[in-house]
Amino acid sequence: MPYLDVSQFTPDDDDLPETELRTAAPAPAAPPLARPSSAARAAAYEFLPVAAASLALLLLTHLRVVHFFPGTEYYDLSWDHHNYIAMATLPSIADFHCSPFCWRIGTAMLVRLLPFGVATGFLVVTSAALWLTGVMMYYIAGALHLSRPLRWTAMLWFFSSPWTIKFCAADFWLCEPLNFLVLALCIYFAVTGRDIPFLLTLALGAAVKESALFAFPLHYTFNARRPLDFRQLRRTALVTLPAVAVLIGIRLAIPALNDYGPYIATLTGPLAAVKPTLISYHYYPMFLDHGLPWFTHPSTDDLQLLTLKTFGLLVILPLFALRRNLPLLLRFSPHIALCLFQVCLIDKSNTERLVVLAIPEMILMSLLGLHALSHRLRISPWAFLPLPLLVMALHLERDPRNLYPAAPVYRQVMLLVLYLAAAAQLPYLWRLTRRLSGHTNADAGDLAARVPQVCS
């Protein structure tokens, strides 16, 4: 990654506590397995706090949402969850033929394998997927050689996004949480150059949701050595073919019967409420109905829907580091474009939950924006750690019965302005504290030199 200084963030023994160094340092006759044991402990010490914080934030979100459990007022709404419930409860998962839901078998198959009831199974799968995705955001930032405070901030921003956490925690029957995890893993394996794990993750993701395949260009953009790299193009095609085969195989094994009247007439119980929303799932007519209006009648409301109303401050923060974000934006641009294209195949009421699939790249570009702000304000990146928590509190403060999960955009912008105004005072408060404690300015040194370097 030419825009990141890898050398400044390579793990070094100097960063370890003295007691751990004594344990890790092998004696002359020590066996060669002593060193990996120390590395394993260091990895565990890094993983456990991140996993615990991720789990705590997820549990907090669960306490502030109204879940779509059977018997609640939202459960009986004619929404997508009835389709996934049918896939998990019918004698065979192949007995359901309403597309595109019948092709998204991954989540329902996991629920069928778990030793729980249907509702508990979906809740467990959703919670585990969201928890692990939060953890993976930390490691993706680490793979891009970002500093430790920015890695923590990456994880916190994921939980501050209402369309990834709050919405999915409430309507926990959906396949989106597992799709977020598939995307996070694909990004991590693409950045670290691991072909086989990328291939397996993408192939399994094709069974979760078709939009999981949108991650395939990342294998090329993060590993190509030049704009047109034919060798890498072949490698990307090879790791993508199994996922395409899985996608086609599922569609051949489970045909769509949306247009078959006798099958539609057999849908009973909760699925009867879904019948009015079933349409012929053909891409061209859907594009004419839902896609063309985006181009023939564009509006500022549409632009806000695709940006601020979906990502909030994660659209604003990258603007503070436009030059440094350009290489990252170029690498992520194919995936972002595919995420945006989804809205052309469905009505606008589903825009946010589809476009938010691009949340990892928005978080990563926001981190570089925060890094730039830390230099301009002459403060440490740790000072921005509370910002995503405050944004998360702003979203969770809303009435849990309000099905629109995001706080108004103007409130998020006001929060950012007030936070930056307060952060700008930190250098003055630091100097004042040093002066009152009897230290001279010369002893304090240049505060800007204390800010960790992330970019070259």
The pLDDT confidence band at residue 51, using thresholds 50, 70 and 90, is very high
- Residue 76's pLDDT is 83
The pLDDT confidence band at residue 447, using thresholds 50, 70 and 90, is very low
- Residue 19's pLDDT is 35
The pLDDT confidence band at residue 18, using thresholds 50, 70 and 90, is very low
pLDDT digits (tens, 9 = 90+) for 396-445: 998 887 778 889 999 999 999 999 999 998 888 878 887 887 765 444 44
Q: Which residue has the higher pLDDT, 216 or 436?
A: 216
Q: Which residue has the higher pLDDT, 340 or 11?
A: 340
Q: Which residue has the higher pLDDT, 298 or 49?
A: 49
Which of the residue ranges 46-55, 286-295, 296-305, 358-367 would you say has the lowest mean pLDDT?
A: 286-295
- Residue 449's pLDDT is 45
Return the HEC string of the chain. CCCECHHHHCCCHHHCCHHHHHHHCCCCCCCCCHHHHHHHHHHHHHHHHHHHHHHHHHHHHHHCCCCCCCCCCCCCCCCCHHHHHHHHHCCCHHHCCCCCHHHCCHHHHHHHHCCCCHHHHHHHHHHHHHHHHHHHHHHHHHHCCCCHHHHHHHHHHHHHCHHHHHHHHHCCCCCHHHHHHHHHHHHHHHHHCCHHHHHHHHHHHHCCCHHHHHHHHHHHHCCCCCCCCHHHHHHHHHHHHHHHHHHHHHHHHCCCCCCCHHHHHCCCHHHHHCHHHCCCCCHHHHHHHHHHHHHHCCCHHHHHHHCHHHHCHHHHHHHHHHHHHHHHHHHHHHHHHHHHHHHHHCCHHHHHHHHHHHHHHHHHHHHHHHHHHHHHCCCCHHHHCHHHHHHHHHHHCCCCCCCCCCCCHHHHHHHHHHHHHHHCCHHHHHHHHHHHCCCCHHHHCCHHHHCCCCEC
pLDDT digits (tens, 9 = 90+) for 149-182: 999 999 999 999 999 999 999 999 999 999 999 9
State mean pLDDT over 237-258. Answer: 95
State mean pLDDT over 363-367. Answer: 97
pLDDT digits (tens, 9 = 90+) for 59-93: 999 999 999 999 888 888 878 899 999 999 999 99
State mean pLDDT over 342-349. Answer: 83
- Residue 274's pLDDT is 61
- Residue 24's pLDDT is 39
- Residue 280's pLDDT is 62
- Residue 251's pLDDT is 94
Residue 33 has pLDDT above 70, yes or no: no
- Residue 41's pLDDT is 86
Task: Please state, for a pLDDT cut of 70, what percent of the chain lies above it.
Answer: 86
- Residue 315's pLDDT is 96
Which of the residue ranges 15-24, 203-212, 373-382 would you say has the lowest mean pLDDT?
A: 15-24
Q: How open is the CA angle 360-216-189, to the nearest 5 degrees?
A: 60
- Residue 40's pLDDT is 83
The pLDDT confidence band at residue 52, using thresholds 50, 70 and 90, is very high
Residue 11 has pLDDT above 60, yes or no: no
- Residue 455's pLDDT is 45
| Average pLDDT value for the chain | 86
Q: What residues contact 283, with CB distance under 8 A and at least 6 apart?
A: 345
